[in-house]
Amino acid sequence: MKFLLLAVLGLLTVVSALPAAFASHSTPFNGSGTGTFTDTSPTTVLITGTGNYDHLGLTTLRFPSTITGPAVCGGFTATEQDNYTGANGDSVYLTVHDTICPTSTPSAFQLDGSFTITGGTGRFADASGSGTVSAAVTFTSATSGTFAGKQTGTITY
């Protein structure tokens, strides 16, 4: 009986340690990217580019964006559904809420926003996290342009 009790206690000790060994933890999810954007309708924009991001390395960016209204600064607000795809094919999905404001330079805007990580594929299937984004946006025509941005945040996976 004593042996059985010790065996059960030993098993419980080992099993209770397993969740800690496999627990995910929050780590930095920072990076920067550049690319282009093109209006796809009066209220939608497709943003594409490349960058380098923590946990992904060289990253392909695809950000469908919807203009959601005017901003107090004289610009506009938008919501993006972002897909960051790493070199190995794993992706991280983000929802981003942006405010895009004109600057003193013609055709130049400053984008600032916040993001929430909503999942992904591969090792990021259950990812979560949040952070901020900022970007310099330049219109090169009435319907397209370029961006250079960075983000700072955390990811748990």
pLDDT in tens, 62-92: 999 999 999 999 999 999 999 999 999 999 9
Q: Which of 6-15, 16-25, 95-104 has the least mean pLDDT? A: 6-15
> What are the tokens at 25?
């933890």
Q: Element (H or E) spanning 2, and its range?
A: helix 2-22
Phi/psi of residue 73, nearest 5 degrees = -75, -5
Q: Global pTM?
A: 0.83
User: Which residue bears the tokens 């960051």?
Assistant: 84
33 forms beta bridges with: 51, 149
Whether residue 41 contacts residue 65, with contact meaning beta carbons closer than 8 Å, is answered with no
Q: What confidence tens digit (pLDDT) does each residue in 17-63 have?
A: 444 444 468 999 999 999 999 999 999 999 999 999 999 999 999 99
